[in-house]
Amino acid sequence: MITFPFSLSGKKILVTGASSGIGQSTAIECSRMGAKLIISARSEVRLNETFSQLTGDGHQIVVADLSRQEGIDAVMNAIDKVDGIVLCAGKGLTLPYQFATREKFDDIFNINFFSPVELLRLLYKKKKINTAGSVVVIASLGGTKIFSGGNSIYGASKAALNCIMKFCAKEFSSRKIRVNCICPGMVETPLIHRGTVSDEQLKENEKLYPLGRYGKPEEIAYSAVYLLSDATTWMTGQDIILDGGISIR
């Protein structure tokens, strides 16, 4: 019998995009629940900031740009076995569809879709995910439940992630590996404060949320911990919506 199913004690977890936002919070919360972390991102300076906030010891940093093969290789080489994976690395873009060129689609899809999908494919193929492990994919409400103007490229990349998750859940089930998505609404991270939308516009949009505010990175992290834990051993192929009620119709 599992005495405390929400614990991550004894588990090794890989978190990509761990240098800021949801990825950083997820790494911190996983460490607080007892996990050993392998954290990855492009910025060594910001990764070290995350590392300094981790609880416990035995954690590991891998500086890697997952949009490049050598970055994926670096992560693969650093891993023997993991019990869980949280794919957080991503990039935003707000752009009217008439300016959504193939070049811009390629850029966003390479970072948001192809990079995490290739990393996951190799981790599974090389049997580096332990039996009964858990994969958590950070997708988005955009492209799955909400279709706002200017977000076609970003939303399409996240919708593709949400879709591939379900195929992986089917195929990985032979090894009892679970694969689930978290689809957040707007979360207070550097991603939404990149200058493409004014602070005034963000404040007005925030009022549309029934709970009256955007989410916090740690609130997404708590759900990632839940999906990584033994509390969800019978849950796979699902997308959890965390959006303060904005998708309620």
- pLDDT top residue among 168 and 193: 168
Please check whether the domain covering 12-240 is classified as CATH 3.40.470.10.
no
Q: Which residues, 6 or more positions from 200, have their beta carbon under 8 angstroms from its beta carbon?
A: none
Average pLDDT of the residues in 89-101? 91
pLDDT confidence of 29, banded at 50, 70, 90? very high
Q: Give me the pLDDT at residue 201, please.
A: 79
121: number of Cβ within 10 Å: 13
pLDDT confidence of 92, banded at 50, 70, 90? confident
Average pLDDT of the residues in 201-219? 90
pTM of the model: 0.94
129-157 pLDDT, tens digit per residue, is: 999 999 999 999 988 988 888 899 999 99
Instruction: Tell me what percent of the residues of the chain surpass a pLDDT of 90.
Output: 82
Which three-class secondary structure state does DSSP give residue 86? strand
Which three-class secondary structure state does DSSP give residue 182? strand
Q: How does DSSP assign 19-73, residue by residue?
A: TSHHHHHHHHHHHHTT-EEEEEES-HHHHHHHHHT--SS--EEEE--TTSHHHHH
CA-only gyration radius of the chain, Å: 17
77: number of Cβ within 10 Å: 10
CA distances from 58 to 12, 35, 222 (A): 10, 9, 22
Q: Does 198 have pLDDT greater than 90?
A: no
